[in-house]
């Protein structure tokens, strides 16, 4: 018997159809809500959980009506911190480690900035963590290549809209964590290069990013142990 689940992610609504068991597993990660008649209809019957979640995330980011950057983001105290980086560079692990250090969660996937105000829109999607990453933040990984967790499972909470206050470039290296000043021009370049949709309105994106970054701190964070790096970042930015 087919059941239905309404899900909203950023500017996209989905109506998922599948078995009760499949939808229960999904809703534990995505939440559920009422959706309109224009919701995207997706039959997930028989699909693997990771494939469905990847489809939902990719669609939500692609259809986002705000400026979106491939980045993790958290709230350190009152400061929204973005960690722009490519896939596989440790964004989700750092976001999870920062939540473990008491930061509120904005996203492990996309820094979303309102085109008009520059405010950060939360995209607090489920965490996708490799077994190594899950262990680093004290979670028990599942059997697959990735395990999925909610921010609540990490002992944290989602943040509301915020102003961006810092851009942090991740630098994987061995040894103790380090934090070095980064030029704001380099931070702005990084946000633009990591953007999902800068190409749609390049001049507007350029103006938005340079304006927002002009009011930000910018750092290069040397990361070996994610928890140690998270503690250092919270100490420096939260103080």
Partner 1 sequence: MLRRNPDVLVQILDDEALLLLPTSDGVLHLNRTATAFWELLEEPQPLEDVARQLAKEFQVPADAVLADLRPLVENLVQHEAIRRT
* Site residues, partner 1 (CB under 8 A): 183-186, 188-189, 192-193, 198-199, 202-203, 206-207, 210, 213-214
Task: Identify which of residues 167 and 234 has a Cβ nearer to partner 1 in the complex.
Answer: 167
C-alpha pair distances (Å), 148 with each of 13, 180, 212, 222: 21, 32, 32, 26
Task: Choose between 125 and 198: whose C-beta lies nearer to partner 1.
Answer: 198
Smallest gap from residue 188 Cβ to partner 1 (A):
6
Q: Which is nearer to partner 1, 132 or 206 (CB)?
A: 206
Minimum CB–partner distance for residue 189 and partner 1 (Å):
4
The HSE-up count of residue 120 (CA atoms within 13 Å, CB side) is: 32
Nearer to partner 1, 9 or 68 (CB): 68
Least Å from the CB of residue 137 to partner 1: 33
Residues near 51 by beta carbon (within 8 Å), at least 6 away in sequence: none
Closest approach of partner 1 to the CB of residue 207, in Å: 8
Residues 94, 116: Cα–Cα separation, whole Å: 29
Residues 6+ apart with CB under 8 A from 209: 67, 188, 191, 192, 195
What's the CA gap between 127 and 136, in Å, rounded?
14
Please identify, using beta-carbon distances, which residue of 150 and 210 lies nearer to partner 1: 210
Least distance from partner 1 to the Cβ atom of residue 171, Å: 17
Alpha carbon distances (Å) from 161 to 31, 74, 75, 136, 158: 19, 11, 10, 28, 10
């Amino acid at each position: 018997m087919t059941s239905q689940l309404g899900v909203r992610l950023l500017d996209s609504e989905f109506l998922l159809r599948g078995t009760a068991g499949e939808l229960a597993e999904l809703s534990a990660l995505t939440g559920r809500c009422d959706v309109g008649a224009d919701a995207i209809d997706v039959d997930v019957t028989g699909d693997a959980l990771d494939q469905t979640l990847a489809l939902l995330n990719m669609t939500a980011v692609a259809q986002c009506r705000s400026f979106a950057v491939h980045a993790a983001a958290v709230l350190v105290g009152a400061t929204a911190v973005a960690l722009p980086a490519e896939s596989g560079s440790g964004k989700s692990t750092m976001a999870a480690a920062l939540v473990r250090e008491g930061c509120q969660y904005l996203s492990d996937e996309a820094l979303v900035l309102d085109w008009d105000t520059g405010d950060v829109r939360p995209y607090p999607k489920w965490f996708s963590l490799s077994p190594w990453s899950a262990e680093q933040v004290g979670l028990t990984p599942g059997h697959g290549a990735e395990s999925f967790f909610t921010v609540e499972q990490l002992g944290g909470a989602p943040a509301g809209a915020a102003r961006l206050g810092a851009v942090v470039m991740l630098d994987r290296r061995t040894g103790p964590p380090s934090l070095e000043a980064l030029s704001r021009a380099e931070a702005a370049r990084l946000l633009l290069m990591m953007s999902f949709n800068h190409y749609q309105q390049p001049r507007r994106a350029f103006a938005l990013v340079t304006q927002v970054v002009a009011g930000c701190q910018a750092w290069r964070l040397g990361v070996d142990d994610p928890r140690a790096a998270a503690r250092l970042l919270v100490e420096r930015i939260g103080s």
